[in-house]
Amino acid sequence: MSYNRKATNYKEQINILKQRGLTIRDDHAAESILKSIGYFRFKGYCLTSYGPIKETFRPGITIDQIYRIYQFDSDIRALTMKACQRAEVRFKSIMGMELALKYGPVLPKMGFYEANSFIEWKKRTKDAHDQGSARSEMYVHNYRDNYHEWPIWVDLELSTFGNVSKLYTWLKTPMKKTIAADYGVNHKYIKNWAHILTVSRNTCAHNSRFYGRLLSLGVLVPTKYQSFFGMNTYFSITFVLFKMLEHKDFASYLHGLHAISKKYGNEVDWQQLGFQTQWYDYFLRMF
């Protein structure tokens, strides 16, 4: 079916929002908001403010309230992106060390359960090498010009979080357990958590929404923590970061969350991210 809705300008978009019950007192300010983030993205942040009638706002909802929710979500994404990057670097460091100590600098076929997985890993690292060369990474040219093999720590450095997460699933179980031991958990958690953080990082990179949204993949949380953290909201991601970051890095992330909570106060509903009351004190007790 062809898409046949006509394009609308800012004035028309503002009128549509007004017709749906959104309070807009300053059309010029409203146009600035729509111009800064786009009508389609703005509508995503309206979802939690609708009443029982489809795409109709609850009484009293203002465009400024919706925009504050967007700003809040943006701050959460920026903080989460930084935390995911630190978790990624640590994960690559631990994997590189353990794999090199077990198999030597170059990861062999015997490290994989299936030959096809080894072939796929080599294909993905070849692509990573080419991309690194295109970015003019000096160390890539060094290895390409002087060696016919690449050490695992270079492959990991060049690989995306998604590909490193995939590599973990392809390794033999004893090695998975060895890597997981660095985090003090069963290897089944690391497989899930690496995937979760990959998705979270991509959500941040593509400016997608956390607010009012459930995760497409459930987070594995130990039974004793499930009642507090849940398994499919942003709040469950905070537990993953707690386990996969160094304590000092998680403390920095937690401080950032606390600062955001003070900045926005009651302007946003933290339950839309799955947060429980007293979440900050709960984390402080876990340290």
Phi, psi of 84 (to 5 degrees): -65, -40
Rounded CA separation 40/222 (Å): 38
Count Cα atoms within 13 angstroms, Cβ side, for 266.
0
Tokens linked to 262:
């003070």
24: pLDDT confidence band, cut at 50, 70 and 90? very high
pLDDT tens digits, residue range 154-202?
999 999 999 999 999 999 999 999 999 999 999 999 999 999 999 999 9
- For residues 234 and 210, the answer to whether their CB atoms sit within 8 Å is yes
Confidence (pLDDT) at 20: 97
Rounded CA separation 209/229 (Å): 19
232: pLDDT confidence band, cut at 50, 70 and 90? very high
pLDDT tens digits, residue range 102-147?
999 999 999 999 999 999 999 999 999 888 888 888 888 788 878 8
Amino acid occupying residue 194: A
Tokens linked to 53:
């009638």
Confidence (pLDDT) at 141: 78
Q: What is the DSSP letter of 267?
A: G
Rounded CA separation 23/197 (Å): 37
Rounded CA separation 238/82 (Å): 13
pLDDT of 259 > 90? The answer is yes
Please name the residue that has the structure tokens 């015997």: 110
Element (H, E) at 124: helix 115-134
Longest dimension (CA), the chain: 68
Averaged pLDDT, 261-287: 95
pLDDT of 31 > 80? The answer is yes
pLDDT of 224 > 80? The answer is yes
Rounded CA separation 242/87 (Å): 10
